[in-house]
């Protein structure tokens, strides 16, 4: 398969858009970034916001330039949600496969945005489609990461009845990621929906068991259980605030930590 990226070397970020303290060394060597499809919508009602796509690509480039290896899993809810379609009467397996195809669309869009910035990127799909992406092979993904390429994992796990949250947990285990960074539209995990309950409080740290017992909507229960069994921490943070991906990678106090890190944050 021909190499992508056009031979361009990554550019150095410049200007006033740089997040503060970019010289701070990274806390993690390899991360799995989980992006929801809805996060790519921004202010639009459907599809992909070019503004959000560019922002994510810029932030990923800044992290890559620190020497951090990045794998990305993207959802497809901005285009099609299999669960919603199945509740409306569609066969669940068929609906989930359609949702997987939506994640491929998002993955290709993000790949294009990254390569415009000179970031070498590979899309690996759990459903084989050679004209668009490489097939997912774990050792190939590891090699891409070692070479400094961003690897975008598309089509979930390739199986119906599993969410992209579970795909993120699975891929993170397979590539030996240090942490899952769950990018959302809110600044962490709350005791209730902060949009509906003004008394909702934000947690700074939670155990896996607390998330499951309190039924907190961090990730689905399968993904949380998988992370718990393998002691893989999850950090939930707001994608909308410029520079947050870099701040989390540097170990700054951003969002909510689920699991056990070297220094557990206390609940706020």
User: Hey, what domains does the chain have and what are their CATH numbers?
Assistant: 30-258 (3.40.1160.10)
pLDDT at 59: 97
CA-wise closest residue to 52 among 119, 113, 124: 113
pTM, whole model, 2 decimals? 0.86
- Number of alpha helices (DSSP H) and beta strands (DSSP E) in the chain: 8, 11
The helix or strand, by DSSP H or E, that contains position 126, with its residue range, turns out to be: none
Q: What is the pLDDT along the chain (268 residues), one digit of tens a residue?
A: 444 444 444 444 443 344 444 568 999 999 999 999 988 888 888 999 999 999 999 999 999 999 999 999 999 999 987 677 767 789 999 999 999 999 999 999 999 999 999 999 999 999 999 999 999 999 999 999 999 999 999 999 999 999 999 999 999 999 999 999 999 888 999 988 888 888 989 999 999 999 999 999 899 999 999 999 999 999 999 998 999 999 999 999 999 999 965 434 444 4
For residue 8, give every residue at least 6 positions away whose Cβ sits within 8 Å of its Cβ, in sequence order, or none.
115, 118
Are 149 and 70 within 8 A, CB to CB? Answer: no
Q: For 37, phi and psi rounded to 5 degrees? A: -60, -35
> According to DSSP H, which parts of the chain are helical?
50-64, 82-87, 92-116, 138-146, 164-174, 208-213, 221-229, 244-249
In a 3-state reduction of DSSP, which class is residue 250? Answer: coil
Measured CA to CA, the distance from residue 77 to residue 83 in angstroms comes to 10
Cα dihedral 207→251→187→48 (10° resolution):
-110
Torsion sign over Cα 151, 156, 157, 158: negative
- The Cα 229–Cα 222 span in angstroms is 11
pLDDT digits (tens, 9 = 90+) for 103-132: 999 999 999 999 999 999 999 999 999 999
Contacts of 228 (CB under 8 A, 6+ apart): 208, 209, 259
Q: Of 141, 140, 168, nearest to 37 (Cα)?
A: 168
Which are the contacts of 137, defined by CB distance < 8 A and separation ≥ 6?
A: 124
């Amino acid at each position: 398969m021909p190499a992508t990226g056009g031979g361009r070397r990554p550019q150095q970020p410049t200007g006033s858009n740089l997040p503060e303290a970019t010289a701070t060394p990274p806390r993690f060597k390899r991360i799995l970034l989980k992006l929801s499809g809805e996060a790519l919508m921004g202010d639009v009602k459907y599809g992909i916001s070019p503004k959000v796509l560019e922002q994510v690509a810029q932030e990923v480039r800044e992290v890559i330039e620190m020497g951090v290896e990045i794998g990305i899993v993207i959802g497809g809810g901005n285009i099609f949600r299999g669960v919603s379609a199945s509740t409306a009467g569609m066969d669940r397996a068929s609906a989930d496969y359609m949702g997987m195809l939506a994640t491929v669309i998002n993955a290709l869009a993000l790949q294009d945005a990254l390569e415009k910035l000179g970031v070498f990127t590979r899309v690996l799909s759990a459903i084989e489609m050679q004209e668009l992406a490489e097939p997912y092979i774990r050792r190939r993904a590891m090699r891409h990461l070692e070479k400094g390429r961003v690897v975008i994992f598309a089509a979930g796990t390739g199986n119906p009845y599993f969410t992209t949250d579970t795909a993120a947990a699975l891929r993170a285990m397979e590539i030996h990621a240090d942490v899952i960074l769950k990018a959302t539209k809110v600044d962490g995990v709350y005791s209730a929906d902060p949009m509906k309950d003004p008394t909702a409080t934000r947690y700074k740290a939670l155990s896996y068991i607390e998330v499951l017992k309190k039924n907190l909507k961090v990730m689905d229960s399968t993904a949380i259980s998988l992370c718990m069994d393998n002691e893989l921490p999850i950090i939930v943070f707001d994608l909308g605030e410029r520079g947050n991906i870099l701040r989390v990678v540097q170990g700054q106090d951003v969002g909510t930590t689920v699991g056990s890190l070297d220094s557990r944050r206390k609940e706020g």
